[in-house]
Structure 1
Amino acid sequence: MIDRRAVLRGTTGAAALSALAITAVESGTGIAWADTKPALFGNPAETGGSLPYPKHLTHEERRNLETFDELDFVVFSGQKWDRLGESHAKNVRAHWPDGHYTDGLARHIEDMKFQFSFAPDTRVVDHPVRLAKGNLTAVTGVATGTFTRPMADGNGGFIRPTGKKYAINMVTVGIWNRRGVMDEEFVMYDQLTFMRQLGLA
């Protein structure tokens, strides 16, 4: 059997626990601590690769994951802002990695547009892990782009572009309603890694 405390303390503990959680969600059971070591991902931002949709999804769970795929790969990456209502409620609350949150679709769109202002080739290229349970989804993604235009610094000035490319891992947790759109969204990624890749840290 796996020593649970050792797994959680170890450097690969989070990855191992994630793999076990995926197995549990896919099978519809609780986490089973087996004698076999689960297959682990490398860094998806470097290696790519995705798991298929979990098995045994309800119709609503599958719909929500498919809607999220369309959101990232087509709507966000293609800047089709008029279609954001297909995945987000009008009064959606969106949480960002820096701790701020916004209410309403229009403000959420403005926040997302900012990314394209300095990296116009921004896109989500992969969803390595996609999970759904009831009205919740958790989807990991790989976002890429190139810092080629001045970035507003929030103080009326601009940061000169470095020309550097980025590829970051992120995760989005969504809370969906019965209409099949998100009432609340949590977007998370490592901002320090992002700044380093842009040449700003």
Structure 2
Amino acid sequence: MKIPTPSRKSTTALRTAWLTLGLVGPLACTSAEEELERYQQEEAQVDTHLTTFDTLDFDVFTHQDWDRLQHSHAQDIIVHWPDGHQTQGIDVHIADLKAMFVYAPDTRIEVHPIRMGSGEWTSVVGIMEGTFTQPMPLPDGSSIPPTGKSFKLIMNTVSRWKDGVMAEEYLFWDNQSYMQQIGLAQ
């Protein structure tokens, strides 16, 4: 038995009515092939961003290869840190990252157990590890002596991408747990 195919005119009228009533969004007016193509392009873009992010953490961050940070970060990147401060600009971001390695030179991220994205956004969970083996400089010029204690933190980075690089980055980890692990809090 052959199933009748609605005419183009009746299909367009029905889609227009649904749009007018707010029952569907504008994407419903495209063909299934166009929607599939758009979805596949978005998935490919997200996969590219996630691959770039893997390289960022596993190679650039872990090996402190700061000259390569421009391959994943915009020059005017906005970064939101777990302690609530926000920075703008790749040079400021690099300075903040370098500071993490002063007192824990073996800091590294070697695994991303969760990676996902949609459109211009990605979210990646990583495990950041290291050991507090060098003095930790303080803003007043003094320092905290190393405790020799290791840390292992679950962290999350939520990123907004534009033109193939991160334009904005939100960093999340538990600072209280971090301080406890390195022996600076109870």
Q: Same fold per TM (> 0.5)?
A: yes
Select the structure of larger CA radius of gyration.
2
Q: 2:49 aligns with which of 64, 73, 93?
A: 64
**Structure 1 residues 87-98: aligned runs within 5 Å:** 87-98=72-83
CA distance in 1, matches of 2:147, 2:111: 25
Instruction: Select which of 89, 99, 113 maps to 1:104.
Output: 89
Could you tell me how far apart the structure 1 residues matched to 2:79 and 2:145 are? 28
- Provide the rounded CA distance (Å) in 1 between the counterparts of 2:67 and 2:81: 21
Pair 1:138 & 2:119 matched: no
1:191 aligns with 2:168: no
Q: List alignment gaps of at least 5 residues for structure 2.
A: 1-39
SS in 1 for 2:52: helix
Q: Secondary structure at the match of 1:106?
A: helix
Task: Give the helix-richer structure, 1 or 2.
Answer: 2
SS at match of 1:126: coil
Structure 1, residues 28-48: CA drift from partner, whole Å, max 9, x if none? xxxxxxxxxxxxxxxxxxxxx
In structure 2, relative to structure 1, the CA distance for the partners of 1:82 and 1:187 (3 Å cut) is same
Q: Is the 8 A contact 1:119 1:148 kept in 2?
A: yes
Specify the code of the residue in structure 2 equivalent to 1:112: L
Where structure 1 has 5 or more consecutive residues not aligned to the other structure, the ranges are 1-54
Alpha carbons 1:57, 1:132 under 8 Å: kept: no
Give the aligned residue type for 1:98: D
Aligned residues: 146
> Using the alignment, how far apart are the partners of 2:166 and 2:56 within structure 1?
11
Deviates more, 1:67-76 or 1:146-155: 146-155
Q: Which amino acid aligns with 1:194?
A: Y
Letter in 2 for 1:166: F
Give the aligned residue type for 1:185: E
**In 2, Cα distance between equivalents of 1:90 and 1:195:** 31
